[in-house]
Structure 1
Amino acid sequence: MSHPRGLSAEEAAAWERLAKTVTPLAPVRPAPAAPGPAKAGKAPPVFVKAKPAVTRAAPAPRAAPPPPPPPQPAPGLDSHWERRLARTSTDPDFTLDLHGHTLDQAYRRLDDGLVQAKAMGARLVLVVTGKSRPVDAADRGSKRGAIRAKILDWLAAGSHAADIAAVRQAHRRHGGDGALYLVLKRRR
């Protein structure tokens, strides 16, 4: 290979020694002699490197994305309870009907009812609240749907929160949107 400034005799000899130690990747073809006046003495051979064949590797097949994980039940229940609540044949152990009460009456009835349900050893409590209504939050104290709007707050902040394993919407047969299942923790 020629260098733009040319090689000195010492550099050419070093290059020659190095070139002998290298094994080419592709066969090397000597370049055709350039036409022109012949120089005195032997000119160093000029080697042209063959262009390597360009082969493109086939793109690696993309792995299919992993299937989405199966839907996980909400925390608090095992799959046995989830299947049990989905069946239409499941009957609650205790029923609390808060529908039609004022907020104060409903709260006291919920508290007293959960005390009674725990004393009886009930595990599945049906709480009938009535369906929620699309009204402003300011009107929820006296309008329809007020109990349904407050029930989850009462359960979370009440004295029985530690005894409740899960809260689920009731099956249609038991009131659907207007009722909830409370799954109580097993008593020790």
Structure 2
Amino acid sequence: MKRRLSNEERELWDRVRQSAKPLLRSGTRRLKPALAAPVAEVVPEAVAARSEKVEAAAKPPQRPVGSRPKAYSPPLPSMAALETKARRRLARGQTGVDRRIDLHGMTQAQAHSALIGFLHLARGNGDRLVLVITGKGREDDADRGVLRRSVPHWLSQPELRRLVLGFEEASRRHGGAGALYVRLRRRSD
């Protein structure tokens, strides 16, 4: 239910209403009637332009002449972390890693090629769990822990995914955040 305005409120409202001016948005301009184009002329052009865009979007992208479609590559195997039991045994020192590599002091290029060779060698020897030591990086470096960030990315790439079953950060006993346990696939996997 609405209440009625008092005389004071009505006078105040009348003063506010008289002092109000319509707002113009900045960036909008009023067109003079003589400059405005008739609607019938604008609409067909807009419709034609829009239909050209729709037709262009509906066409499949053109491949250059002589190019071949990409070869099919089977989906990559998924990455699995260590089982809880295995992780616990490693942390307690009840089991060890089969092989280890230390990438400290290497450039990214050196570390990448060393890692690839190491993983092929380890898998060839039947190793199942290896330790990759990346180091944590220096605290004063702007690019702190470049290898620490790069190695997980490399392990996830197709080149190594066929060898690697999974990986995760090592326990403190084996280097913690500066090292990774890497599980290798069996040759028949």
TM-score, normalised to structure 1, is 0.51
Q: What amino acid is the match of 1:89?
A: Q
Cα distance in 1, alignment partners of residues 166 and 82 from structure 2: 7
Task: Tell me what 2:163 maps to.
Answer: 163
Cα distance in 2, alignment partners of residues 152 and 172 from structure 1: 18
Alignment partner of 2:102 out of 97, 103, 106: 97
Larger radius of gyration: 1
Whether the 8 Å CA contact 1:103–1:147 is kept in 2: the answer is yes
Whether the 8 Å CA contact 1:132–1:149 is kept in 2: the answer is no
| Same amino acid, percent of matched pairs | 43
Corresponding pairs, count: 110
Q: What amino acid is the match of 2:129?
A: L
Task: Tell me what 2:124 maps to.
Answer: 119
Greater helix share, 1 or 2? 2
> Which digits, 9 at most, give the CA deviation of each residue in 1:12-44, with x for residues without a partner?
xxxxxxxxxxxxxxxxxxxxxxxxxxxxxxxxx
Measured after TM superposition, the shift of residue 112 of structure 1 is 0.6
Unaligned runs of 5+ in 1: 1-73
Measured after TM superposition, the shift of residue 118 of structure 1 is 0.6
Cα distance in 2, alignment partners of residues 165 and 81 from structure 1: 14
> Which digits, 9 at most, give the CA deviation of each residue in 1:127-175, with x for residues without a partner?
0000156789xx53xxx41111111111101412122222121121211
Measured after TM superposition, the shift of residue 184 of structure 1 is 1.1
Unaligned runs of 5+ in 2: 1-78
TM-aligned CA distance change 1:177 to 1:79, over 3 Å: closer
Higher relative contact order, structure no. (Cα contacts within 8 Å, ≥ 6 residues apart): 2
TM-aligned CA distance change 1:85 to 1:166, over 3 Å: farther
- What SS does the aligned partner of 1:168 have? strand
Task: Tell me what 2:149 maps to.
Answer: 149
Whether the 8 Å CA contact 1:123–1:186 is kept in 2: the answer is yes
TM-score, normalised to structure 2, is 0.51
Question: What stretches of structure 1 move > 6 A for 4+ residues in a row?
Answer: none
Q: What amino acid is the match of 1:162?
A: R
- What SS does the aligned partner of 2:88 have? helix
TM-aligned CA distance change 1:174 to 1:82, over 3 Å: closer
> Which digits, 9 at most, give the CA deviation of each residue in 1:48-106, with x for residues without a partner?
xxxxxxxxxxxxxxxxxxxxxxxxxx945444433333332321101111111001000
Whether the 8 Å CA contact 1:88–1:171 is kept in 2: the answer is no
Q: What amino acid is the match of 1:187?
A: R
Cα distance in 1, alignment partners of residues 181 and 82 from structure 2: 12
Task: Kindly report which structure 2 residues correspond to 1:1-188, keeping only aligned pairs within 5 A, or say none.
Answer: 75-132=80-137, 139-140=142-143, 144-188=144-188
TM-aligned CA distance change 1:84 to 1:163, over 3 Å: farther
Across the aligned residues of Structure 1 and Structure 2, the Cα RMSD in angstroms comes to: 2.4
Cα distance in 1, alignment partners of residues 121 and 163 from structure 2: 13
Cα distance in 2, alignment partners of residues 113 and 166 from structure 1: 16
TM-aligned CA distance change 1:78 to 1:175, over 3 Å: closer
TM-aligned CA distance change 1:150 to 1:116, over 3 Å: same
